[in-house]
Amino acid sequence: MTTLAPLPFLVRSFWTPARRHSAGMAFMLAALLLLPEVAFASTYAGQALLEWARGMIIAPLCLLSIVVSIAIAVFRPDFVKAAVWVTVVSLFLFFVISNATTIIGYLQS
């Protein structure tokens, strides 16, 4: 029965200090060449994070606040004012984030 030899890059002795340095430099060069393309793909810094927050946090919060304000209006009319303000603020944030590219363009010109 024959045993297979391990792959050379999995053996600890394969990664000498010179090879680790070369691999690190190659990784850094690849990162420097590829990251500007990723960074300049968005119109402004944080665009992807804001769009994620718009869809995953602010939109459900807005819908939930509308439903809660309707339910509160039936049972506790004194809390309607707070629920309506939460709805207005979340709709405002949703609008600003949705149109952030246009707003940033106006501010830069």
Residue 93 lies in a domain: yes
pLDDT > 90: percent of the chain: 0
In this structure, the answer to whether residues 29 and 53 fall within a common structural domain is no
For 4, list phi and psi in degrees, rounded to 5: -80, 140
Structural domain harbouring 29? 14-39
- So what's the pLDDT on residue 78? 83
Q: How distant, in Å, are the alpha carbons of 10, 45, 101, 108 from that of 105?
A: 51, 13, 6, 5
In this structure, the answer to whether residues 32 and 51 fall within a common structural domain is no
- So what's the pLDDT on residue 1? 53
In this structure, the answer to whether residues 18 and 64 fall within a common structural domain is no
Residue 6 lies in a domain: no
The conformation of residue 44, written as its DSSP 8-state character, comes to S
- So what's the pLDDT on residue 58? 81
Residue 101 lies in a domain: yes
In this structure, the answer to whether residues 32 and 55 fall within a common structural domain is no
In this structure, the answer to whether residues 57 and 98 fall within a common structural domain is yes
pLDDT band at 4 (very low <50, low <70, confident <90, very high): low
User: How many structural domains does the chain have?
Assistant: 2
Q: Read off the pLDDT of residues 43-68 as tens digits, 9 standing for 90 and up.
A: 667 778 888 888 888 888 888 888 88
In this structure, the answer to whether residues 84 and 52 fall within a common structural domain is yes
Alpha-carbon gap, residue 106 to 85, rounded angstroms: 28
Alpha-carbon gap, residue 57 to 73, rounded angstroms: 24
Higher pLDDT, 7 or 83: 83
In 3D space, the residue among 109, 91, 92, 108 whose CA is nearest the CA of residue 45 turns out to be: 108
